[in-house]
């Protein structure tokens, strides 16, 4: 039940963000849907991952004091798949398909 609530809240947040961005740039809803989904997916990916370039740079001042596995193995990236990321990835895929259908005559 908790997963359904998170899914619904994520979808509502995506649609609201897309609506606000489309009103801000004075475009149609479908034009901004793919870019909004992609942007939100990348933001969720960034905040759901552990390790990588930015984490190693922020940990650098303290890392030399520690003798641990993470100090020796500095090239790792761990991503935790969660419900909002899955919803935003599906939203992006569906938005891409709908954008292709709507703008097919321009291709």
> pLDDT tens across 64-76, in order?
666 555 555 555 6
The predicted-structure confidence for 3-60, as pLDDT tens digits, reads as follows: 899 999 999 999 999 999 999 999 999 999 999 999 999 988 888 877 655 666 666 6
Task: Say if residues 9 and 88 touch (Cβ distance below 8 Å).
Answer: no
Going from N- to C-terminal start, the domains of the chain cover 2-48+77-106
What confidence score (pLDDT) does residue 22 get? 95
Better-predicted residue by pLDDT, 2 or 30:
30
What confidence score (pLDDT) does residue 69 get? 54
Q: How many CB atoms lie within 10 A of CB 42?
A: 12
Q: Please, which residues have CB within 8 angstroms of residue 59's CB and are 6 or more apart in sequence?
A: 70
What confidence score (pLDDT) does residue 32 get? 93
What confidence score (pLDDT) does residue 80 get? 77
Give CA–CA dist 86/10, Å, rounded.
10
Give CA–CA dist 79/22, Å, rounded.
30
> If you search the block for the tokens 């922020």, which residue do you land on?
58
Tokens (6 digits) for 71:
């100090």
């Amino acid at each position: 039940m908790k997963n359904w609530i998170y899914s619904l809240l994520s979808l509502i947040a995506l649609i609201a963000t897309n609506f606000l961005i489309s009103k801000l740039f004075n475009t149609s809803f479908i034009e901004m849907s793919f870019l909004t989904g992609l942007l939100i997916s990348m933001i969720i990916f960034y905040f759901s991952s552990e390790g990588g370039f930015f984490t190693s740079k922020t940990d650098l001042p303290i890392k030399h004091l520690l003798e641990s596995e993470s100090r020796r193995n500095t090239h790792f990236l761990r991503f935790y798949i969660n419900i909002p990321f899955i919803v935003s990835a599906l939203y992006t895929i569906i938005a891409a398909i709908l954008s292709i259908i709507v703008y097919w005559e321009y291709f």
